[in-house]
Amino acid sequence: MKDKKIVDVIISIGNNPKLLDKFLFDILTPKEYEEINKRWEIVNMLHSGVNQHDISKKLGVGIATVTRGSTALKNTKGGFAEILKS
């Protein structure tokens, strides 16, 4: 697996959620792991129409973090928009 980029490693994991979870837990600090989950929760809440200020309060994150998620979600060529279409 030498010289594999992170995307290549994730692709090589395939459809194995347990292994992917273990891999992410190993490669990220506990705080990073928690933050990634929180950012995905932000995007899902935004996609569901929840107000940015309500998300900020509910999840205990700064409004700038929520706004960043909102900006990424509005990018119609980005990954969030494509994943949430399905």
In a domain, 64, yes or no: yes
pLDDT at residue 86, rounded to an integer: 72
Range of the domain at 39: 29-85
Give the pLDDT of the chain (86 residues) as one tens digit per residue. Answer: 567 799 999 999 999 999 999 999 999 999 999 999 999 999 999 999 999 999 999 999 999 999 999 999 999 899 998 999 87
10 occurs within a structural domain: no
Cβ(41)–Cβ(60) below 8 Å: no
pLDDT value of residue 2: 62
Angle at 85 between CA 80 and CA 86, to 5 degrees: 110
In a domain, 6, yes or no: no
Q: How many domains does the chain have?
A: 1
In a domain, 57, yes or no: yes
Tokens 């998300």, located at residue: 55
In a domain, 53, yes or no: yes
